[in-house]
Amino acid sequence: MKCPFCGSDNTRVIDSRPADDNTSIRRRRVCDDCNKRFTTYEKVETIPLIVIKKDNTREQYDRNKVVGGIIRACHKRPVSIDQINKLADEVEAAIFTGEGKEVESTMIGQLVMDKLSELDPVAYVRFASVYREFKDVDTFMNELAKMLKDEKK
């Protein structure tokens, strides 16, 4: 493992433990050349998951796209990056435990919306407005009315 500070290959592991999500290993490392410490994570490499998009094109699953969409929805909201990563982990766990090697983008979007509705209602509406391609204010208001109705239950 190369040191991110000096680029040296002379690094060693000083501590290993399961990460918070129990799906990866957190390793604390030290560079023997510059004596700086850094953390790495190991995850099991899985079979690539293919996402079927709305226009029926296919592309490899990219966690960064999911996280990016969540970050945009949570912009200027009281949601930490740890909460965003936890949400992305939960979505990934749900889609990777499925039997197929392909998943529809609509399923991923719905999972994100379900998790966001529990985390932050404003972020949920922001995400839904892009994901569901709201065409006008009426569609937006209908979604808000549904959300308010669900909160009262």
pLDDT score, position 141: 78
Global pTM?
A: 0.63
Mean pLDDT of 24-35: 94
Q: Mind listing the pLDDT tens digit for each residue in 2-13?
A: 999 999 999 999
Residue 35 structure tokens: 């004596």
Q: What is the pLDDT of residues 57-90, one digit of tens each?
A: 999 999 999 999 999 999 999 999 999 999 999 9
Task: Give me the chain's average pLDDT, please.
Answer: 87
Domain ranges of the chain: 11-43, 50-152
What is the pLDDT at residue 153? 61
Question: Could you tell me what percent of the chain has a pLDDT over 70?
Answer: 95
